[in-house]
Amino acid sequence: MPISADKLIEKVRDHQPNADLELVRFAFDFAKEAHAGQKRKSGEPYIMHPLATAEILADMKMPVPIVIAGLLHDVPEDTDVTVEGIRETFGSDIASMVAGITKLGKIKYRGIERYVENLRKMFVAMASDIRVIIIKFADRIHNLRTLSALPPHKRKRIAMESLEIYAPIANRLGINEMRALLEDLAFTHAMPKESEWVSGLMEKAIKVKKSYVDRVKDSTGQEIKREGIEVLDIHGRVKNRYSLYRKLLKYERSMVQIHDLIALRIIVPKMSDCYAVLGIIHQKWKPLKGRIKDYIAQPKPNGYRSLHTTVFCEDGEIVEFQIRTQEMHDEAELGIAAHWQYDEDGKLAKPEVKKQMAWVKELAERQKFLHSGPNFEESLETLKIDLFQNRIFVFTPEGDVIDLPEDATPVDFAYAIHSQIGDTCVGARINDHIMSLDTKLYSGDCCEIIVDKNRKGPNSDWLSFVKTSTARHHVRQHAKSKLTRWIRNIKNEGGNN
């Protein structure tokens, strides 16, 4: 059966009826000719890979230039056609994206030095043009889908890198759809036994829960419509396998504690409708204490907005609801990528994008401090904690939001505000309660730092619990300068005798 662009064209047409479909077809023919005669490790024609990459981007409603860059992303790397040739044929915008992907190069896994270099390239490419990393995610998703063609040791390495680097970056950019795909595809190869165990648990639990959730969905939908609120969509969302695995580890592998395996998602037209629906649900069912989360008033650091509530439903079953508008839903699934739906040129204009780009630029700056050689693992771990780990948001008493990694402490919070506050902190008031400096902070906490201006500097014992590299750096610097002063004093005393 001949390989064609028909399916891709159909996907683009679905989301962008006015798109230049002929240009997409022309780009496919161009890539197909350039890759003629090339095969993948699986034995299939090479063009299948860029075509699949472009289809993933089209599914994400990406504008045509990004889809075309996905079709052409391997052309300069693997064929005689240069980036210049692509510029002459498709223009400089598409050529610059393809050049960005080409600079990233193929990941060869030749030791730590090469690994550091790949990370550096990736962070710099992201800072130059965020669209490049979105194409790279699509490329990686298809590679993970066809990973079985590679030897086991390579499969595991690629899968682990996808779990530890790619998926967390997708999470920080709020691209939930790609994060979940990267995690679940990589999970199968990185931890096959655990993956099989979680799949078995899910299958059983979903079989039991599905008909119950459908019943709750129907009665909730009717109730909302009775109150005169339009429901754009109401559907069950099944938690992805890797997220479930991580949650199970938190709860000693017990499914009894997992209340959001299937969550009901309600999409309504306006923000005011979200709050009205929350009220309707709480009138109908009793909410669980501490499980109402307003991510609309207080969005997550990656821009995620939604209302969450967990309630006791019929027969005492516990169900989670997520309520949001269509725009919030698009942003929750596509993150930073959602904003290109409203801008055909892929221009970064929206404030949400600018905020995300600030984080990407920080990432590009931080790559300079990635050390190769013996310190690589330590610097990579620090990078993972600071930039890739799940984030929490903590409030100052004035209402400012401080973005920190999960498990951060008041000391991390203090240093995130100012180094002088970190150096002189002696205690913390968390939600109006005096707490010790090693207390774990949680999203939504209000933290006030108690300082003592006479304090000479941080305590080196803090190194046992601080999480951010900023806090760690300041504590170490102080310990080092203290030691230097002590040695200098000894020398001076010796000279005076």
218-261 pLDDT per residue, tens:
999 999 999 999 999 999 888 889 988 988 888 778 777 777 77
d(CA 258, CA 240): 13
Percent of the chain residues past pLDDT 90, beyond the cut? 38
pLDDT at 492: 63
Active site residue 407: no
The phi and psi torsions of 46 (rounded to 5 degrees) equal: -60, -35
Q: Residue 402: pLDDT band by 50, 70, 90 thresholds?
A: confident
pLDDT at 93 over 50: yes
- Own/partner pairs, 282-285, CB within 8 angstroms, 24+ separation: 282/309, 282/311, 284/220, 284/223, 285/311, 285/312, 285/313
Q: What amino acid is encoded at 54 in this protein? A: A
Q: How high is the pLDDT of residue 26?
A: 94
Higher pLDDT, 493 or 326: 326
Exposed/middle/buried for 318, CB within 10 Å: 0-12, 13-18, 19+?
middle
Query: 37's torsion region: left (phi>0), alpha (psi -120 to 50) or beta?
Result: left
Phi and psi angles of residue 230, each rounded to the nearest 5 degrees, phi first: -75, 135
Res. 363: pLDDT tops 80: no
Instruction: Name the average pLDDT for the chain.
Output: 83
| Mean pLDDT on 194-212 | 86
User: What mean pLDDT comes out for the span 395-421?
Assistant: 88
Q: Which of 20, 59, 77, 403 is catalytic?
A: 77
Query: Residue 235 belongs to what H/E stretch?
Result: strand 233-238
> What CATH superfamily is the domain 6-191?
Hypothetical protein af1432 (1.10.3210.10)
Asked about 77 being catalytic, the answer comes back as yes
pLDDT bucket at 191, cuts 50 / 70 / 90:
very high
Helix spans in 81-229 (H) = 83-90, 92-104, 111-128, 130-145, 152-161, 167-172, 176-190, 192-226
The residue annotated as part of the active site, out of 78, 194, 294, 403, is 78
Q: Give the residue extent of every domain in the chain.
A: 6-191, 193-335, 390-496
pLDDT score, position 451: 93
CB 127, CB 364: distance < 8 Å:
yes
Residue 125: pLDDT above 60? yes
Query: In this predicted structure, what is the pLDDT of residue 108?
Result: 47
Residue 13 buriedness (CB in 10 A; 0-12 / 13-18 / 19+): middle
CA distance 375 to 356: 29
What pLDDT, on the 0 to 100 scale, is given for residue 72? 93
Q: What is the mean pLDDT of residues 103-116?
A: 56
- Higher pLDDT: 429 or 129? It is 429
Which CATH code, of 3.40.50.150, 3.30.460.10, 3.90.960.10, 3.20.20.70, is assigned to 193-335? 3.30.460.10
Sign of the C-alpha dihedral computed for residues 412, 415, 421 and 424 taken in this order? positive
The dihedral built from the CA positions of residue 338, 344, 348 and 350, taken in this order, carries a sign that is: negative
Most confident of 118-132, 389-403, 439-453: 439-453
Query: Residues near 139 by Cβ (< 8 Å), separated by ≥ 6?
Result: 49, 53, 70, 73, 101
Of 326 and 207, the structure prediction assigns the larger pLDDT to: 326
Average pLDDT over residues 287-292: 88
Do residues 440 and 384 lie in contact, with contact meaning Cβ atoms separated by under 8 Å? no
pLDDT(409) > 60: yes
Output the pLDDT for position 183.
94
The confidence band for 43, taking pLDDT boundaries of 50, 70 and 90, is confident
The 3-state DSSP class for residue 428 equals strand
Of residues 268, 271, 264, 166, the one with CA closest to residue 220: 264
75 to 50, 79, 295, 471: CA distances (angstroms): 9, 5, 42, 45
Region of poorest pLDDT, from 147-161, 223-237, 423-437: 147-161
Q: Which residues contact 26 (CB under 8 A, 6 or more apart)?
A: none
**Architecture label for domain 390-496:** Roll (3.10)
Using CA atoms, how far apart are residues 455 and 435, in angstroms rounded to an integer?
A: 19
Q: What is the pLDDT of residues 296-343, one digit of tens each?
A: 988 877 778 999 999 998 877 888 999 999 989 988 887 766 665 444
Q: Output phi, psi for 214, to 5 deg.
A: -60, -40
- Would you say residue 56 has pLDDT above 90? yes
**Token pair for residue 439?**
């207390």
**pLDDT tens profile 333-361:** 877 666 654 444 444 445 555 565 666 66
Q: How far apart are CA 213 and CA 482, in angstroms?
A: 61
What the block records as the tokens of 124 is: 């710099």
